[in-house]
């Protein structure tokens, strides 16, 4: 088999389904705007990962040898963006459903994964660890893209719905501020882990 699909799916679930910058953004968006209003954002996040998968599959990582500074710069620019999102989350206050018209949309979601160090590390690991030597770029890329999209289609709405449920219990209570700061703190933590342990 050109791509070890079952093994990769297990890996994908372990990455997409566990906490990280994207899932913290989904959780916070669901908490702030409600599940239904957040769905365009969820779709954008899912499709945004495709913007990384296809260029990597067709040789983008070859640039790492000729222009390593490009990937180092990307890593820290991405981290800065996620830190900024974390700051916004920390200062966000919940009012589920009341601000649906201002919920971030599809295009806002598209930017999340291209600027997420964990997503880059996950995808590079997929190509380097689960693709047999000699596999065509199209076969490998299409398989990994489909596996990750299916995994996201299941996991991302769950995180968003979980945020919506949490908000209904803590909105307007003294616990609200602690929740948002905790989400922001975890977002920063996961980015730092991706930067220092992941491989771009």
State the angle between helix axes of 21-33 and 35-48 in degrees (0 to 180), rounded to the nearest 10: 160
For the chain, the average pLDDT equals 81
Q: Can you give the pLDDT at residue 100? A: 46
pLDDT digits (tens, 9 = 90+) for 18-69: 777 888 889 888 888 889 999 999 999 999 999 999 998 888 656 656 766 7
Query: Tokens 């893209």 map to which residue?
Result: 145
Q: Which residues, 6 or more positions from 84, have their beta carbon under 8 angstroms from its beta carbon?
A: none
pLDDT at 200: 42
What is the SS3 string spanning 103-119? CCCHHHHHCCCCCCHHH
179 membership: H or E segment, kind and range: helix 175-197
18, 174 in Cβ contact below 8 A?
Answer: no
The whole-angstrom separation of Cα 169 and Cα 146 is: 36
* Continuous segment of H or E residues that includes residue 10: helix 5-16
Higher pLDDT, 165 or 63: 165
Helical pair 137-170 and 175-197, crossing angle rounded to 10 deg: 160
Cβ-contact 145, 53 below 8 angstroms? yes
C-beta of residue 13 within 8 angstroms of C-beta of residue 147? no
The answer to whether the beta carbons of residues 137 and 59 sit under 8 Å apart is yes
What integer pLDDT is reported at residue 153 of this predicted model? 96
Confidence of residue 199 (pLDDT cuts 50, 70, 90): very low
Which of the four pLDDT bands, split at 50, 70 and 90, describes residue 70?
Answer: low
Q: How confident is the model at residue 170 (pLDDT cuts 50, 70, 90)?
A: confident
Quick count: other Cβ atoms within 10 Å of Cβ 138? 11
Q: Return the structure tokens found at 47.
A: 């499709």
The alpha-helical segments, DSSP class H, found in 34-170 are 35-48, 50-57, 63-66, 68-90, 106-110, 117-129, 137-170
Distance CA 49, CA 131 (A): 18
């Amino acid at each position: 088999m050109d791509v070890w699909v079952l093994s990769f799916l297990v890996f994908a679930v372990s990455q997409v389904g566990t906490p990280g910058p994207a899932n913290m953004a989904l959780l916070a968006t669901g908490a702030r705007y409600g599940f239904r209003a957040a769905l365009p954002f969820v779709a954008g996040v899912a499709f945004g990962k495709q913007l990384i998968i296809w260029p990597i599959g067709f040789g983008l990582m070859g640039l790492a040898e000729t222009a390593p500074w490009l990937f180092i710069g990307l890593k820290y620019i991405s981290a800065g963006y996620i830190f900024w999102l974390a700051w916004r989350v920390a200062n966000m206050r919940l009012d589920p459903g009341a601000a649906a018209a201002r919920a971030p949309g599809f295009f806002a979601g598209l930017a999340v994964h291209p600027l997420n160090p964990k997503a880059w590390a996950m995808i590079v690991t997929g190509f380097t660890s689960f693709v047999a030597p000699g596999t065509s770029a199209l076969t490998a890329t299409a398989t990994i893209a489909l596996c990750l999209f299916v995994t996201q289609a299941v996991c991302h709405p769950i995180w968003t719905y979980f945020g919506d449920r949490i908000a209904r219990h803590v909105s307007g209570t003294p616990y609200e501020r602690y929740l948002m700061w905790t989400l922001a703190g975890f977002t920063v933590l996961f980015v730092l882990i991706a930067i220092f342990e992941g491989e771009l």
